[in-house]
Amino acid sequence: MNQEKILELDFKDSRDSYLLDRREFLKVAGGGIFILFSMWDVSVFAQERQSRGRQGLPTDFNAFLKIGEDGRITLFTGKIEMGQGVITSLAQELADELDVSLDSVGMVMGDTDLCPYDMGTFGSMSTRFFGPPLRAAGAEAKRVLLELASERLNVPVKNLVVENGIVIDAKNKRDKVSYAQLAKGKKIAKHISSTVPVKRPSEFKIIGKPENRRDAVEKVTGKAKYSGDIQLAGMLYAKILRPPAHGAKLVDVDLSEARKIKDVEIIHEGELVAVLHKYPDIAETALQKIKAKYDLPKTNIDDKNIFQHLLDSKPKGEVVEKEGDVKSGEKESENIIEQTYYDGYKAHAPIEPHTAVVKIEDGKATVWASTQTPFGAKEEVAKELNIPAKNVRVIPPFLGGGFGGKSRNVQILEAARLAKLSGKPVQVAWSREEEFFLDSFRPAAIVKIKSGITKKGKINLWDYSVYFAGERGSLVFYNIPNFRTTVYGSGGRGIASAHPFATGPWRAPGNNTNTFARESQIDIMAEKAGMDPFEFRMQNLTDKKMRNVLQRAAEKFGWKHAKASSGRGYGIACGIDAGTSVAAIAEVDVNKKTGHVQVKRVVCAQDMGLAVNPEGATIQMEGCITMGMGYALKEDIHFRNGEINDLNFDTYEIPRFSWLPKIETIIIDNKEADPQGGGEPAIVVMGAVIANAIYDAVGARLFQMPMTPERILEALKKG
């Protein structure tokens, strides 16, 4: 089968030129009507502009849409599809503003040759920051088309209506002209940089309507291409020799046995040892035959003493938020509660491991790779190969999950280097073991909270310190007169010496840890105040959005007031992520003998402003709730001396069918408000909602995630 052919169909607008400047771009982009636009949020955009300038790319737009001479609408965006569903929701926004059917909108995503620079797909930013200008671009395109139609039909614009891409004279329905006819022979480019009036919610036809995934048929038939499915003529599969532990140094390698395997190519350059073969399994067999000796590190750091190690190596703290005076807050409080919370390293563990294919020809490199940051990869590959960035093209096929883990492009650089050294196209597809070993884990982190309540059950003090999880999700949304939030170290890569391996963003970075700590502490205070946890939260909340989601979740759940621990196994947690407010209520069953937890029911309400695709948003919530049970209950990376002990799904357990609770989701109808993030928020509450439910069930308070059966039994003993 010729895979390149298939790609050409998917990317038929491909061409050799690069988007150097706008003039150049218009020369190569073919005929039609173009609307160029960029994200408006300057803080997000400023960073982009810098990197874009560095790459010699246009700095004044970061996406464009094209109304082709055939009437087809194409959106060119640097965003990628990794399961989160923007392939559907972004097209919905565009189709609605343009008054065309969803089917007539095509998407070209992440291709660095065809799409303008984009920082990457993460942080629930696509719909939030990209959606509004996208809709404006659609509205502007429609305005241009209506003007053209008005000229053509000799009818004033105000008398024209659009139905399914056909402009019609409302007074004389036989007078009409299609977008295709209007775009024919035209070459119009408009740049929008400020607000264009868009549709009001009452005018929506496609936005806000549940739509099925547009990529579903490709995905259920096995036709959808992921990076590993790209097979090029003459391509070799590479397997790379990995050290047994992080920090291990290769001292000796014996390749003689591996060389005996027919047609195997071996590359050995410095620390890089790789075997290449036209079959991946034979390359793997050859790899197994390599004998290597390593000097092993002796760090004595493991998953138990890591927390002390991290506290010992903490960087300077930064107060990110502060109000009132924590000293007087402490004095005026009736009850002071001081607790420390812990969270271990978690793997991203997408079912598709990191994969990349690199082909180098005539000094130009083409890369197919599972990456959340194609434009970052482009720069990195250029550097690795020592060629200008404009000679690198990155094409992200579908991603088999990302969750933040595919923002780092190590596998791409490996493939690039091997393609250069071997002179052939090379595919590097990490094995599951490599995926675990080389992942940039969600960082282990610690949260210390000192909080106080008044006699009446008002929170009066909140002194919050977070180490290594970062700021996201650490800010106060309860009404507290005296608070201080101090952040030690970012949730990203941490400081170099602190973590024994790479760490990085993991779905809603930092927020899972922060929300676990905060919402557990809230429940402890509620109990101290002698109050029901719902009532206690309501008493300390004035934030309207949050009160509303909590109220709605409680109604749906049928919350009846009771103090913890009531034996019912009910828990509550609230959180804010990516601008979205979320509240969850769960019911769990705890087996006191085995410590096993079964989550029986989760009700989750979220206010995400305008939900562009309620169906997609619901799926994301369900996904968050399901995935979130994993980090809460089981997921933990065990390691010692740089060696990772969990290398497959046998010991690193992720949620499976039998874990499934009854899931009920509520999306608050809030069409008038700007859309907020949807791919991450609902996951942040899962740690605390389960912790609080466990406490309510059996009176065991867990201060560390994951809340494994052993830890639960231990907490029960302490009782």
Partner 1 sequence: MIENVQFKLNGKAIKITIDSDRMLLWVLRTDFGLTGTKYGCGEGICGACTVLVNNEAVRSCQTSIKEIKDKDVVTIEGLVKDGKLHPLQKAFAEHDALQCGYCTPGMIMTAASFLKKNPKPTRKDVIEGMDDNLCRCGAYNRIIQAVQSAAKKMNGGN
Can you give the binding site for partner 1, defined by CB under 8 A? 1, 3, 82-85, 212-213, 215-226, 228-229, 231, 237, 278-282, 349-353, 398-403, 429, 431-432, 615, 619, 622-627, 648-650, 654-658, 660, 663
Least separation in angstroms between residue 85's CB and partner 1 is 7
Output the CA torsion sign for 103, 109, 111, 116: positive
Instruction: Name the one residue in this structure whose structure tokens are 């059996």.
Output: 698
Nearer to partner 1, 132 or 687 (CB): 687
| Nearest distance from C-beta of residue 545 to partner 1, angstroms | 25
Sequence-separated (6 or more) residues with CB below 8 Å from residue 239: 274, 275, 276, 280, 283, 284, 286, 287, 431
Question: Residue 349: how many CA atoms within 13 Å on its side-chain side?
Answer: 20
- Is residue 642 near ligand FES by the rule CB under 6 A? no
Largest CA distance in the chain: 84
| Cα separation of the two ends of the chain | 63
> Among residues 141 and 399, whose Cβ is nearest to partner 1?
399
Judged by phi (left if over 0) then psi (alpha if -120 to 50, else beta), residue 280 lies in alpha
Residue 625 touches which of ligand FES, partner 1, none (Cβ within 5-8 Å per kind): partner 1
CA-based Rg of the chain, rounded to a whole angstrom? 27
Three-state secondary-structure class, residue 427: strand
For 308-444, where are the E strands, in sequence order? 317-323, 335-343, 355-361, 364-369, 392-395, 426-429
Binding mask 349-368 for ligand FES (x = CB under 6 A): --x-----------------
Question: Cis omega (within 30 of 0) on the bond before 431?
Answer: no
Q: How far is the CB of 430 from partner 1 (least distance, A)?
A: 10
Of 319 and 351, nearer to ligand FES (C-beta) is 351
Q: How far is the CB of 485 from ligand FES (least distance, A)?
A: 35
Question: Is residue 404 part of the contact set for ligand FES (CB under 6 A)?
Answer: no
**Residue 488 contacts which entry, partner 1, ligand FES, none (Cβ below 5-8 A, type-dependent):** none
Site string for ligand FES, 294-333 (x = CB under 6 A): ----------------------------------------
Which of 32, 83, 344, 706 binds ligand FES (CB under 6 A)? It is 83
Residue keyed to tokens 């209007």: 182
CB of 86 to partner 1, least distance (A): 12
Q: Which is nearer to ligand FES, 401 or 505 (CB)?
A: 401
How far is CA 583 from its chain centroid?
20
Nearer to ligand FES, 133 or 396 (CB): 396
Helix (H) or strand (E) holding 484: strand 483-488
Put the strands of the sheet holding 73-77 in their side by side order.
105-109, 73-77, 63-67, 32-37, 187-192
Decide whether 117 or 398 has the Cβ nearer to partner 1. 398
217 binds ligand FES (CB under 6 A): no
Minimum distance, C-beta of residue 581 to partner 1, in the bound complex (Å): 21
Nearest approach in angstroms of CB 260 to ligand FES is 28
Q: Are strands 317-323 and 483-488 parallel, antiparallel or unpaired?
A: antiparallel
Partner touching 622 among partner 1, ligand FES, none, CB below 5 to 8 Å by kind: partner 1
Tokens representing 72? 């087809």
Within 55-74, the residues that bind ligand FES by CB under 6 A are: none
Cβ-closest position to ligand FES: 351
Question: How long a stretch of residues is the chain?
Answer: 719
Q: Which residues pair with 573 in a beta bridge?
A: 584
CB nearer to partner 1: give 170 or 216: 216
Closer residue to ligand FES, CB minimum distance, 421 or 654? 654
The residue among 49 and 600 lying less far from partner 1, judged by its C-beta, is 600
Query: Counting contacts by CB under 6 A, is residue 595 touching ligand FES?
Result: no
Nearer to ligand FES (CB atom), residue 401 or residue 457 = 401
Cβ distance to partner 1 smaller for residue 160 or 399 = 399
Q: Which of 402, 346, 349, 348 is nearest to 374 (CA)?
A: 402
Decide which of partner 1, ligand FES, none touches 84; Cβ closer than 5 to 8 Å per partner kind. Answer: partner 1
Going by C-alpha positions, the residue among 489, 548, 539, 540 that lies closest to residue 513 is: 489
* Locus of tokens 């995926």: 435
When the beta carbons of 55 and 88 are compared against partner 1, the nearer one is 88
User: Which residue matches tokens 């271990």?
Assistant: 344
Q: Is 661 in the site for ligand FES (CB under 6 A)?
A: no
The residue (of 543 and 664) whose beta carbon lies closer to partner 1 is: 664
**Quick one: tokens of 293?**
């000796």
Partner whose binding site includes residue 55, from partner 1, ligand FES, none (CB under 5 to 8 Å by kind): none
Q: In one letter, which amino acid is 389? A: A
Shortest approach of ligand FES to residue 375 CB, angstroms? 24
**Is residue 558 within 8 Å of residue 564, measured between CB atoms?**
no
Task: Pick what 234 binds: ligand FES, partner 1, none; C-beta below 5 to 8 Å, kind-dependent.
Answer: none
The two beta strands, 426-429 and 236-240, are parallel
Per-residue exposure over 468-487, b if at least 16 CB sit within 10 Å of its own CB, e if not: bbbbbbbebbbebbbbbbbb
Binding-site residue total for ligand FES (CB under 6 A)? 3
In angstroms, the CA 534 to CA 547 distance is 10
| 507 vs 545 by CB, closer to partner 1 | 507
Q: How far is CA 414 from CA 227, 272, 275, 403, in A?
A: 15, 9, 12, 22
Whichever of 83 and 165 has its CB closer to ligand FES, that residue is 83
Look at residue 642 and give the partner it binds from partner 1, ligand FES, none, a contact being a CB closer than 5 to 8 Å depending on partner kind. none
215 binds, among partner 1, ligand FES, none (CB under 5 to 8 A by kind): partner 1
Binding-site partner at residue 655 among partner 1, ligand FES, none, CB < 5 to 8 Å by type: partner 1
Nearest-approach distance from CB 199 to partner 1, in angstroms: 25
The binder of ligand FES chosen from 401, 457, 505, 675 (CB under 6 A): 401
Residue 216 binds which entry of ligand FES, partner 1, none, with Cβ cut-offs from 5 to 8 Å by kind? Answer: partner 1
d(CA 563, CA 561): 7
Question: What tokens appear for 636 in the block?
Answer: 């933990």
Q: Is 155 helix (H, G, I), strand (E, B) or coil?
A: coil
Strands 317-323 and 291-295, by their bridges, are: unpaired
Give the nearest distance from C-beta 345 to partner 1 in angstroms: 17
Minimal distance in Å, beta carbon 398 to partner 1? 7
CB of 223 to ligand FES, least distance (A): 16
Provide the minimum distance between the beta carbon of 524 and ligand FES in the complex, in angstroms, as a whole number.
36
Structure tokens at 296: 């092993």
Which residues in this chain contact ligand FES in the complex, by CB under 6 A? 83, 351, 401
